[in-house]
Amino acid sequence: MSWVAIVALAALAFAAITFGLRAPRQGWATLGAALALGLAGYALQASPGLAGAPASAQQAQALDGSPLIDARRRIMGRADEPVPPYLLTADAFARRGRYQDAAGLLRSAVRDHPKDAEAWIALGNALVEHGEGSLNPAATYAYRQANALKPDSAGPAFFLGLALIRQGEVIQAHQMWSAQLAAMPADAPGRTELEARLAMLEDAMRRVAAEAMEQ
């Protein structure tokens, strides 16, 4: 995990206290530590169930974009479909952690295929990963373009929410995921996974709030 992500996760505590949980001031330290530990695996690479690992293994995993790519295909409901050539090449760079190269190819891809929502999501993901978890305006634009093309899909909101969590905006991510689920058809691609991740986020927030209240 990058130091940027660690700091962002610690900031979740203050967002939750100020806007959502109203935990007492004396519990702030516990809240920050618990959120950083509980959401670290969740926010990175869309793999909340990953076990702890030595720093060298974590660094190697951070360079592997495969979990993020596999999650994108699955949540967009395209896991069993052929990957378009322009996405296949960009994904090959991302799988090796070459996110800048992937983003360069994907910029051309969305110019040539502006109605491919998955390409827009892939671009957003590559930009976020290249920025070590920073949600920059270009990435936000890419996710919103994907959402405009596929408003009933969980994909755009799912990955934008992950990026928000990584930079500490947990309340905004929670609100976005909740609103997306309320608006989605019952059989929409990715709905089940988004429901599961939202439940995990809410469970983590409840646990942290309960622990903070005990301080």
Which tokens belong to 44? 């990175």
User: What range defines the domain where residue 48 resides?
Assistant: 3-213
Torsion (CA) 60, 64, 70, 72 in degrees, nearest 10: 110
Residue 37 to residue 39: CA distance in whole angstroms: 6
- The pLDDT, as a whole number, for residue 95 is 93
pLDDT at 113 exceeding the cut of 70: yes
On whether the CB atoms of residues 103 and 130 are closer than 8 A, the answer is yes
- The pLDDT, as a whole number, for residue 3 is 32
Residue 81 to residue 78: CA distance in whole angstroms: 5
Which tokens belong to 145? 């373009």
The C-alpha angle 15, 54, 73, rounded to 5 degrees, equals 65
Which tokens belong to 56? 């060298």
Residues in the chain, total: 215
pLDDT band at 16 (very low <50, low <70, confident <90, very high): very low
Per residue in 188-211, pLDDT (tens digit) is: 989 999 998 888 888 877 776 676
Proportion of the chain in helix, strand, coil states, percent, rounded to 5: 75, 0, 25
Q: How many domains does the chain have?
A: 1
Residue 85's H or E segment, with its range, is helix 85-95
CATH number, position 175:
1.25.40.10
Residue 36 to residue 40: CA distance in whole angstroms: 6
